[in-house]
Chain A
Amino acid sequence: MNLLRDIDTAGAPDDYLFARIRYRRAALDTSGQGQWAGPADPHRALKAEYAWVYAQLNQGMRRKLLPFFEYNELGTLIIALRYLSAGDSAALKSQLQFSLLHPQLRKVLLGSDKITTVIRRLESLLSKRYAFLGGLTAHYLRQGPGGLEQALRGGFLQQATTESRSRPLREMLLYQLDMRNLLALYKHLHWKIPSPPPFLAGGTLPGSLTEKIWAAQDMAKLLELIQQRAGQKGDPEATGVEDFLFAGLTRQLHRASRDPLQAGLVLDYLWRYQLASRARGWQLKNTPAPPETALAGGAA
């Protein structure tokens, strides 16, 4: 069984959808300073927009972008599991409202209060399609919720990278994979954590290089590598390493969106919507938006 629900509709022609997306993208405000046109709750608005785009895609484009939507919908599954383990059924139902998850998975998530039972059922339903999910329950019992989330995110990201047939999507997923490895390495060096960081295989960074940096505890070399991967100069620590890498991804997607026949436009739009909803979230909390939103807006 797939992670996402099946959609029977043929979807819209590429030109039609791209025109709509271009218009919506132009109206987006990623700085958090302007007017927010979407629904009041930015998180819900983001999920609704993902669902709208997914439903509008035609069969060919949907197949092409499936790994991307699966990887993103994994976030819904993980948050739903968090609510489940916290016993917050109202938040769980709300989380699943605009979800693209397969109805059977939603039924499983809402069907039991016991997290171990739910994980076991998820494993039995999904492990045929996603081989890396075999042994998920044992993994959860051994490493707890943190280990489970890490295994899910890492596994899905690696599978999505391998399965993606669209060039902009593959480049985006490779960037995200590298970003995870660089951030893990940075956190371990910054906080002086003695255990080695959990690297994911399959990115563009050679494993020998990251391992060499870890062995030498060479922060300067790591920051240089972060600059290289993000494709920009400046001190990553001044703006925050994660924000610095986000800005690099924004630039990469903006470049990919210029190709009129590729899926890059859809990816760029959804990424910007994510940034806009994040900036709106900060605005609602009356807190200045973190630097990456400004950086991302500037890069766009």
Chain B
Amino acid sequence: MAVLEILKIPDERLKQVSEPVEQFDDELRAFIDELEQTRRDGPAAVGIAAPQVGRLLRVVIVDVSNTRKPVPNHGYMILVNPEITHWDGFEMGREGCLSVPDYTGNVIRATHIRIRAQDPWGKPLEYEMEGYEARAVQHELDHLDGLLFIDRVVSRRTDLFQRKVYQKGGKSRK
């Protein structure tokens, strides 16, 4: 097993659309092991996508079970040929990327998603997820379509103002 080289922008391969996995064989599973080893090798990444190491296959790994403050999660997930089948809500959050060193930015993502995928043996999977984990999956799935978070960064001026009930301010005398 080896730690693979992470492609960095402006590598053209990061803009390619990845191919669906058709062969669920030992070679695929060995590659996934190396992909996971690569994810764990660098800065604390919660996910990695196959094209980030130059392999244009629809495979991602996501694991948000290790955040500073615990968030709802499904643990370590290998998603082969993943697809989002439903999404709901949106929220802004800060993202960075192993392929984009020394830059972070705000990105709007769906807050709830349902996904369909396959495991490394081709068995169908379904997940429903929210918040940070949903964000991580959307970030990784973008890689499979040749998109990076920097393609989606929004200005902080575009901030979505958090709706909340005014308890202290804005008392109107009506």
Whether both chains belong to one complex is answered with: no
A positions within 8 Å CB-CB of B: none
B positions within 8 Å CB-CB of A: none
